[in-house]
Amino acid sequence: MVCIIGGGVIGLASAYALVRAGHEVTVIDARETLGSETSFANGGQLSYRYVAPLADKGVPLQAIGWLLRGDSPLKLRPRLDPQQWRWMTAFLGACRGSVNKRNAAHLLRLATLSQDTLQQWRDDDHLDGFDWRRNGKLVTFRNASSFEQARSKVTNILQQQVLSAADCARLEPALAGGGFVGGIYTPNEEVADCHAFCQRLAARLEASGRCTFLLGRKVTGIRHADTAVQAIELGSEVMPVEHLVLAAGHRSAELALPGLSLPLYPLKGYSLSVPIGEQHRAPNVSITDYDRKIVYARIGEQLRVAAMVDIVGFDTRLEPKRLALMKRQALETFALAGDYAQAVEWAGMRPATPTGVPLIGASVYRNLWLNLGHGALGFTLACGSGQLLAELIGRQTPSIDMQGLTPRAA
């Protein structure tokens, strides 16, 4: 029996892979509804080929430039919080070209496995009902120098195509007149509704008869001996565990144990869900406005706009100024895409490691498994991460080389 703390996209994909492999599973979540924290209204992009971590050469300097601007995609509120300073120090340490390249390779392996795994689940189990589409992704550039830099990195392996501004408008007519100098198109990227995906996984898990859900139950502590975990505490109740998976997103660090390093920090972001009516002209291709760091995806009958990295601590409040900036930029780019007056606003906290690489697999406690720290790519990486975890718990050879992904190596 495997007990999973966290019913977000990572915990549910782990449960799904484990049940497919024949395990019995219990998923515990503090909320009454599954997939209702960071997995609720994220960007919806299954961005399998754009996985390079945020930490890179030149980012600290670029960040200083951003922080001085009124329309910055980045916001920093320094706090008297050792966790914030430890995370930022480690992040700065990872801002090197060689580290970025190495970690991007680890993430690409995991992302490729994720795409294959979702395809397999869709084929084998007819998993549907979450607005999945292979709609392609177009990264657009406003600035000639950032376009040139991106062009130089285009590779055939990722099947990317360099497009002029006119080609971009031909591919995606909703972009006409958008102020872009060109773009890079990747046809086999996908999009879906992450919350609906969580709900579909949960429904299939329920129907399997092998999964129990404990909802509205917060895990308040983990009991352990020297080398193994023994039980979890749910307030005054103690529940023994055989295998325990920690997949509690950005709150995982609250359950850290002696000797277990969980270098997580919540990076806050926002989204707008804009209803699309028959009269609107929304993009069909997913768009990343590279220079403004804002992404657009059509998910069913809504346009999902997502942006911002706010390093402000555990603060889930909707900040009107940040949302107003996003709405203004979205209107400048896609004025006719939807009914912005009816847009639903949302804020979520990306569970980020300094390197951008998640921690998947065994911990220093032999029956405590980790699946956390997926940052800005949790939806993209969920199925592959769940599959790997199920293989590791089942003592099978993992589908991909685990180098760089396992907690011990973090």
Spatial neighbors of 196 by CB under 8 A, at least 6 apart, are 129, 130, 131
Shortest CB 262 distance to ligand FAD, Å: 12
Which residue, 23 or 293, is less far from ligand FAD as judged by CB?
A: 293
Which residue, 321 or 395, is less far from ligand FAD as judged by CB?
A: 321
Shortest CB 170 distance to ligand FAD, Å: 25
Q: Hey, how many other C-beta atoms are within 10 angstroms of the C-beta on 401? A: 10
Sheet of 237-240, strand order: 221-224, 229-234, 237-240
Which residue, 194 or 337, is less far from ligand FAD as judged by CB?
A: 194
Shortest CB 14 distance to ligand FAD, Å: 9
Which residue, 169 or 257, is less far from ligand FAD as judged by CB?
A: 257
Shortest CB 255 distance to ligand FAD, Å: 6
Which residue, 181 or 257, is less far from ligand FAD as judged by CB?
A: 257
Shortest CB 164 distance to ligand FAD, Å: 26
Shortest CB 98 distance to ligand FAD, Å: 25
Shortest CB 100 distance to ligand FAD, Å: 18
Which residue, 175 or 376, is less far from ligand FAD as judged by CB?
A: 376
Shortest CB 165 distance to ligand FAD, Å: 25
Which of 193, 203, 194 has its CA nearest to residue 19?
Answer: 203
Q: Hey, how many other C-beta atoms are within 10 angstroms of the C-beta on 288? A: 23
Shortest CB 377 distance to ligand FAD, Å: 4
72 secondary structure, DSSP code:
-
Q: Which two tokens stand for residue 100?
A: 């970025």
Shortest CB 343 distance to ligand FAD, Å: 14
Which residue, 37 or 165, is less far from ligand FAD as judged by CB?
A: 37
Q: Which residues bind ligand FAD (CB under 6 A)?
A: 5-11, 28-31, 37-39, 42-45, 47, 218-219, 247-249, 251, 255, 269-271, 306, 348, 350-351, 372, 374-380
Which residue, 271 or 387, is less far from ligand FAD as judged by CB?
A: 271
Question: Taking a C-beta distance cutoff of 8 angstroms, is the pair 144, 103 a contact?
Answer: no
Shortest CB 311 distance to ligand FAD, Å: 13
DSSP string, 304-319: EEEEEEEE-SS-----
Spatial neighbors of 110 by CB under 8 A, at least 6 apart, are 51, 358, 360, 381, 384, 385, 388, 400, 405
Which residue, 10 or 287, is less far from ligand FAD as judged by CB?
A: 10
Which residue, 113 or 306, is less far from ligand FAD as judged by CB?
A: 306
Which residue, 20 or 322, is less far from ligand FAD as judged by CB?
A: 322
